[in-house]
Every structure is written in C-alpha cells, then in structure tokens.
Amino acid sequence: MDLIKSKTYINLAKAFAGECMDRTRYEYIEYGARQQGYKTLAECIDKIAYNEFNHSRMLYSFIQTAKPTAIDNIEICSGYPFREKWDLVDNLRLAALDEQKEAEEVYPTYAKIARQEGFDDIAGLFENLATVEKQHQKELTSLYEQFAGGTAYKKDKTTSWVCADCGYTAEGKEAFDVCPLCQAKQGAVLLQTASCK
Ligand SMILES: [Fe+2]
Ligand SMILES: [Fe+2]
C-alpha cells in the first residue's frame, strides 16, 4: 500500500499535530513555573517539552517518506484537549491525563493500524512513542502529587536536598528556603523525580 493512500499517513499527521500541541502546552506550564519561581520544575517540564519536539520531528520525517514527496497539504480531522487553564498544579494533572490517553489509546491504535497496513517501521515508531508517553505520564503524575500535596520540598524521611544552581547539599526532612551558599530560592532545589536529575 502507498503510504499516501493509507490511514497511517493521516495518523502520522494527526500525531504530529498532537506532539506540537503537547510541546506548546508544556511550554505554558514551564512559563508558569518560572513566573512562580519554581526553576527546577520549569527545567523538568522543559525536558519533557523537548522530548515532544523530537517526537514531532520523527513523525514529520516519516511523513516525508511518502511519494510524491511534495506535500502541500494534509487534511486531518481530529480532536485535541483544550482543558488547561493557567493553574500550574492543575495543569500538571491534566498533562498527565493527556499523556495517559496517548500512551494507552491513541498510539497503540495507530500502531495497530500501521501494522495492518504493512508499515512495520511506523508501527514501531508509534509503539516507542507510547512507551515514552507512559513515562511522561508517571513523571507528570509524580510532580502533580508533590506540588498538590505539599511534598515537593518536604518529606516524611530524611532526604538529600541539592541546590541546582551551586550544588550545595543538605540532609533533612525539609528543603532549605534559601540556599545557604548561593542564596537561591527554594524553587532552585532539585526535585525528587527521575526526569529532574
Ligand atoms: Fe510525545
Ligand atoms: Fe509526552
């Protein structure tokens, strides 16, 4: 089957649009985090946004393999969430839900269709994307829970708190309000999730 005549061709374009939107949504979250002084949270989100940029790049590359190669327009009809408002913590929760939908519904469906249509390499791309979006869901859920529950900088057990700016480290149940070494505010303390290291 020609890629250009397939459902997979449209799904690549839909997924590309979704990844571009994800990236922009996460830039909104990053913007909010920076405005509120959560520097390391902004950096965690920026890493996820950069992942989405690269997802869009891979999808775009596969679209470009279609023949004929000059693509003026791809008509897509698709729905995308527009739930996020300007509440930083709630946007983390909503972003996790968006990731879950991509990981559990959208990309597995696109992968199945691609395989049925004989595009095994594109099916593999969608499967790999689903794996990463699942990881994003976990990260965003963890960040949401920490910021909603007031545990981002306060734990039940002794924790090692590191200033991302100067490297100063202190042990304790609570992170320092101001770094004793460089005077950075608490928002510069490294968060306790995998993507924030
Ligand atoms: Fe993505
Ligand atoms: Fe993602």
Distance 179 CA to ligand 2 centre (A): 32
Ligand (nearest to CA of 98): 2
List residues bridging with 172 in a β-sheet. 159
Q: How does pLDDT run across 10-51, given as a tens digit for each residue? A: 999 999 999 999 999 999 999 999 999 999 999 999 999 999
Q: Got the DSSP string for 49-100?
A: HHHHHHHHHHHHHHHTTSSS-----------------S-HHHHHHHHHHHHH
- Between CA 85 and CA 22 the distance in angstroms is 14
Q: Which fold has domain 3-148?
A: Ferritin (1.20.1260)
CATH architecture of the domain with residue range 154-196 = Single Sheet (2.20)
Distance 149 CA to ligand 2 centre (A): 23
Domain ranges of the chain: 3-148, 154-196
Q: How does pLDDT run across 54-93, given as a tens digit for each residue? A: 999 999 999 999 887 788 999 999 999 999 888 999 999 9
Give the environment of ion ligand 1: residues with CB less than 5 A: 19, 52, 55
User: How is residue 49 written in tokens?
Assistant: 């946004």
Length of the chain: 197
